[in-house]
Structure 1
Amino acid sequence: MDKITKKIMDLPKRLLVQEPLNLYTGIRGMFRESSTIAGLPPGQAVYTGLRRDDPFSMSIFLYDEETLEERDNISIEELKQLNVENKFLWLNIEGIHHVEQVKAICELYEIHPLTLEDILTVEQRPKIDDTENYIYTAIRMLQFNPKTRKTVSEQLSMVLLKNVIITFQEKEGDTFEAVRGRLRAGKGRIRKEGSDYLYYALIDTIVDHYFIVMEKFGDQLEDIEERILRSGQRRDFEILYELKREMIHIRRSVWPLREVISRIERDDFKFIKKSTRIFIRDVYDHTIQAIDSVETYRDFISSLSDLYQSVIGNKMNQVMKTLTIISVIFIPLTFIAGLYGINFENVPEFKWEYGYAYFWSLLIGSAVFTLAIFRWKKWI
């Protein structure tokens, strides 16, 4: 730990103050370097994310068409005593860095050690695995933090069993409040169709939040575009660079999801009914729209970068134009002043009564003549 602390303290001050996203990435990489994942046999329960102090928490929705039981902060012993016969269970787990508790849950529901390893590996590509006893899905959950105006990305692991769905989250906070509200209200299909429909509803909510994040991106980019056209400050270019990095991360989250949703729609999964796959097709369409939005905003960011360079270039051209005009005006004036500053005695204008007036007339006439040429050429 002393070695890692020293690395953090050696980080540049600019990184600590101005680039919290880069700092987070850098610290996460340091902790990963210190882990002992490399060389371990497959299926080892090792958490690969950032070390957290968040508590471990489990909440449940136990429901059928007529009844609903909602409980927070339940223990594993209480979970074992639940009567889930002829009912559907949604178990939500927050704090997967508590490896022993997660491992106990996986043992309770006979989840394979390789799947446990995937759950604890929080920076993997969205994927879906179909086993004999369950369906495992890894997906990126994106949220927009209005305080930091940053996109928060988190891996969500979902295990769909018969009449049971388990969601594993890194920390507290998710995008599922609307789904919880629908379960509490008991309206529509969600309490009637079973766990596979809830599985669809959770994925659909995650994809819908991609559009919310994209909308926030669009608002920021429009503000930046207006500021660039008005002033073109260096800070706007730095913000564009940060947004570009975030967009790359979002693209890595959204693009592989298309393959996952396509498999769910196309393949014959044991725990997903044919009637539910119709709704999955709608999620697939939304995923394609999200991908199109990502590509659109990527192009928008690139065009804003070009616009910034153009604005800065135009500003520089205006400065150079002004300096050139001033230089061209004063070059002949300097020549005339230098000519009459020579030390020869036989200069006729020196002894002329109107020589001084002639000198100033020549200077002013040269400047006016130069400006007239610029005006005629429409350079000014």
Structure 2
Amino acid sequence: MDKIAKKIINLPKRLLVEEPLNLYSGLRGMFHGSSKIAGLPPGSAVYTGTRKDTPFNIDLFTYNEKHLEERTNLSLEEAINMPKDGNFHWLNIEGLHHVDNIRSICEALGIHPLTMEDILSVGQRPQIDDTENYLFIALKMLQFDEEKNKTINEQVSFVLTDNLLITFQERKGDTFEAVRNRLRAGKGRIRKEGLDYLLYALVDTVVDHYFIVLEKFGDILEEIEERIMFSGQKKDFDLLYTLKRELIHIRRSVWPLREVISKLERDEIKLIRKQTRFYIRDVYDHTIQAIDSVETYRDFISSLGDLYQSVISNKLNQVMKTLTIFSVIFIPMTFIAGVYGINFENVPEFGWEYGYAYFWSLITGIAILTLAVFKFKKWI
């Protein structure tokens, strides 16, 4: 245990300090978020996340089969006073740390305080709650930052009512742009179907991005495997530890989602139509595939760790083998040199005319004979 603790403590500062979001964001949200709400009454409006730099923003998509209206930067009053005109409305809210605005929207739209607490508690596991007036879903949205080469984790919450779908996000930037483009294009069935189909499309794109993130993991692991085979440097082992931590965090996001999608498909939820459940079943299959991929990469990381240890052990064995060969060659030579280095006067070889040549021939012959034996035994 002491060796493991020292190894963790001695990890590069870059892995422990400069990239805290992709290493420990889930754990930080879980523990520090819990400390914020500990002792408060149920339904308290407390944001448990760490992102405080996102401006509060509300976007609205109002659409039907033939019409689409897209509005950005809605005021709080406009969002609260949504018209019930028979159209479908998608309200996207960014900036959960603006707690007063979130509370005002939840109170105006009839969202229960306990649901509001779940929306603001971003460190919890994915969940689903079917109430009398709305359907609430919370899940983790994963994205891969190409510039910083790290995983970004964010909780996104969905509240579905008869004529309104609300999404709550911590920050600007999400995985929903493809769905927005489908709404703008008006192709397919997304504008013909109801809001439950839009909910399915949004959840589906979140799950699809799990595969994008996992593919990045696969590419990185293949590069590490190749480097380990050729060099086996310690920085690759440290990187494996970092990836293992991230994969554990992704696993916490993906595994509970299976239960959420299963309930969404199988339970008799009045806001989810029967024809939509058929598409949700496909999302469930994708979730299972994502879980399998996570487990596969976990095993891959473990095998790469074993491979690294094997490569290092093999290198050490090669070094020991080389040193052993030199030792076996030079030990008899050292012995002979020691014998002829004594200070006795009556040593016959000292009086030989070719005694010096005899000495070198002897030790050279022993070295050649030793190498020949090693070669014959196929030890070198």
Q: TM-score, normalised by structure 1?
A: 0.93
Give the residue type in structure 1 aligned to 2:318: Q
Contact 1:141-1:206 at 8 Å conserved across structures:
yes
- Out of 8, 18, 21, the position equivalent to 1:20 is 18
Distance in 2 separating the partners of 1:294 and 1:30: 21
Contact 2:29-2:123 at 8 Å conserved across structures:
no
The residue that corresponds to 2:155 in the other structure is: 155
Structure 2: gaps of 5 or more residues: 1-8
Structure ranking higher on relative contact order (CA contacts 8 Å, 6+ apart):
2
Structure 2 CA distance for partners of 1:155 and 1:312, relative to 1, 3 Å: same
The residue that corresponds to 1:48 in the other structure is: 48
Deviation at 1:81, TM superposition (A): 4.1
Contact 1:15-1:22 at 8 Å conserved across structures:
no
The residue that corresponds to 2:3 in the other structure is: none
Distance in 2 separating the partners of 1:153 and 1:43: 24
Contact 2:33-2:49 at 8 Å conserved across structures:
no
Structure 2 CA distance for partners of 1:14 and 1:320, relative to 1, 3 Å: closer
The residue that corresponds to 1:201 in the other structure is: 201
Give the residue type in structure 2 aligned to 1:153: N
* 26-35 or 12-21, larger mean C-alpha shift: 26-35
The residue that corresponds to 2:58 in the other structure is: 58
Q: Does 1:167 align with 2:167?
A: yes
Distance in 1 separating the partners of 2:30 and 2:117: 20
Q: Secondary structure at the match of 1:344?
A: coil
Distance in 2 separating the partners of 1:240 and 1:77: 50
Q: Spell out the pairing of 1:178-197 with structure 2 (5 A cutoff).
A: 178-197=178-197
Structure 2 CA distance for partners of 1:78 and 1:42, relative to 1, 3 Å: same
Q: Secondary structure at the match of 1:289?
A: helix
Structure 1: gaps of 5 or more residues: 1-10
Distance in 2 separating the partners of 1:105 and 1:202: 21
Structure 2 CA distance for partners of 1:244 and 1:28, relative to 1, 3 Å: closer
**Number of positions where the alignment pairs a residue of Structure 1 with one of Structure 2:** 370
Deviation at 1:227, TM superposition (A): 1.0
The residue that corresponds to 1:90 in the other structure is: 90
The residue that corresponds to 1:345 in the other structure is: 345
Distance in 2 separating the partners of 1:272 and 1:207: 19
Distance in 2 separating the partners of 1:15 and 1:356: 61
Q: TM-score, normalised by structure 2?
A: 0.93
Give the residue type in structure 1 aligned to 2:159: V
Contact 2:33-2:121 at 8 Å conserved across structures:
no
Cα shift readout 1:104-129 (whole Å, capped 9, x = no counterpart): 11011110000011001001111101
Q: Secondary structure at the match of 1:84?
A: coil
Contact 2:96-2:102 at 8 Å conserved across structures:
yes
Distance in 2 separating the partners of 1:230 and 1:148: 26
Distance in 1 separating the partners of 2:191 and 2:176: 15
The residue that corresponds to 1:326 in the other structure is: 326
Cα shift readout 1:273-299 (whole Å, capped 9, x = no counterpart): 011001000111111111111111111
The residue that corresponds to 1:356 in the other structure is: 356
Q: Spell out the pairing of 1:260-271 with structure 2 (5 A cutoff).
A: 260-271=260-271
Distance in 1 separating the partners of 2:232 and 2:77: 61
